[in-house]
Amino acid sequence: MATNSVQSRAIWRLAERQHGVVSQRQLLELGLTRSGIRHRRVQGRLHELLSGVYAVGRPEVSQDGRLMAAVLASGAGAVLSHLSAAGLWGIRAGDARRPEVSVAASRFPRPRGVRIHRRDVLPPAELTRRRGISVTSPALTIVDIAPRLSTPGLEAAINEADVLGLINPDQLREWLERMPRMRGLGVVRRCLDRHSVLLADSELERRFIRLIRAAGLPLPLTGHQLNGFKVDFFWPALGLVVETDGLRYHRTAAEQARDRRRDQAHARAGLTQLRFTHAQVAHEPGEVASTLAEVIVRLTSSAVPGRTRLTSSAVPGRIS
């Protein structure tokens, strides 16, 4: 009787750490026999969730309990991965109805309702725990899900990992460089490259001016002081300001606050302001030119009477 009491307390403590679930292997390690497991199932003290994995006390478990059950049912060395890992980390919604688990390529578990990924490489340093559940690291998780996501979806996942303090884009880029080849690395690298293009001011101006000329648009002033701030590009006759933001990621709170004050100062002065990222100028010149053209047409049609119209041949300080 005393032995049963000790076993029961040990089982409950284990279940509490594992979101209400335990595996048959763990029960046997705690000294329970197979007949003892069957007896507890008959009594309603254990409820099978997956083959060899049980809910303790009652059949209902939380989402974390279902994820834990999927990992336990997949055997030794199994880890939550892909979209299920993304959901656990909070960087992307996962589908708890069919958890995804990675195992070594030499293993062939087939728990019902679990999507198994057999992998040649499961770097030990990239396997960790979150809320007690074995899971791939945030970086490996991002690489795993990258091939399934659209570019905006992947950008959102990277941003969310950054916001949550899991890994920032600079750290992710360094991580990519030291990892062995695997599916998804190139997708993430291209996404980071797309949004970390930093052009020197002079090079950015030259690209922007070439873009404007190619679209047949009037040229702006550059580096003009306006409302107490230096602006990137300014069309005085149209009251149009264009700013080109730097890195998409990691603008400090102070920089963001200054941006807001600048925007508000221009708005109070009745100016129209557009913002483009460096990446847009570098990779989406057609979209930038189209947006500029539409805004310029609208502003030209509603220009204040008497305001001098700006032309490319009458722009002081323009870039040649």
Q: Report whether 46 contacts 8 (CB < 8 A).
A: no
Q: Encode pLDDT of 235-277 as tens digits.
A: 999 999 998 875 444 455 677 788 888 889 999 999 999 988 8
Within 8 A by CB and 6+ apart from 134, the residues are 71, 78, 79, 80, 127, 128
Average pLDDT, the chain: 85
Lowest mean pLDDT, pick from 1-5, 6-10, 254-258? 1-5
Q: Encode pLDDT of 22-31 as tens digits.
A: 999 999 999 9
Q: Which CATH architecture has domain 1-60?
A: Orthogonal Bundle (1.10)
Round to whole Å and give the CA distance between 85 and 288: 37
Lowest mean pLDDT, pick from 44-53, 167-176, 263-272, 311-320? 311-320
Q: Would strands 100-104 and 115-119 be described as parallel, antiparallel, or unpaired?
A: parallel
| pTM summary value | 0.65
Give the pLDDT score at 136: 97
**What ranges do the domains of the chain cover?**
1-60, 62-196, 201-314
Q: Assign residue 6 a region: left if phi > 0, alpha if psi is -120 to 50, beta otherwise?
A: alpha
Query: What CA–CA distances, in Å, run from 305 to 226, 240, 295, 311, 316?
Result: 22, 16, 18, 16, 22
Q: Assign residue 263 a region: left if phi > 0, alpha if psi is -120 to 50, beta otherwise?
A: alpha
Q: Does 201-314 match 1-60 at the fold level?
A: no
Round to whole Å and give the CA distance between 153 and 239: 35
Q: Encode pLDDT of 150-209 as tens digits.
A: 988 898 898 889 888 999 888 998 899 888 788 899 999 988 877 655 555 666 777 888
Buried b (16+ CB within 10 A) or exposed e, 308-320: eebeeeebeeebe
The percent of residues above 90 in pLDDT, for the chain, comes to 52
Round to whole Å and give the CA distance between 316 and 255: 30
Q: How confident is the model at residue 308 (pLDDT cuts 50, 70, 90)?
A: very low
Which CATH code, of 3.40.1160.10, 3.40.190.10, 3.40.960.10, 3.40.50.300, is assigned to 201-314? Answer: 3.40.960.10
Report residue 272 CA to chain centroid gap.
Answer: 32
3-state secondary structure 152-217: HHHHHHHHHHHHCCCCCHHHHHHHHHHCCCCCCHHHHHHHHHHHCCCCCHHHHHHHHHHHHHHCCC
Is the pLDDT score of 287 beyond 80? yes
Q: Report whether 167 contacts 161 (CB < 8 A).
A: yes
Give the pLDDT score at 48: 96
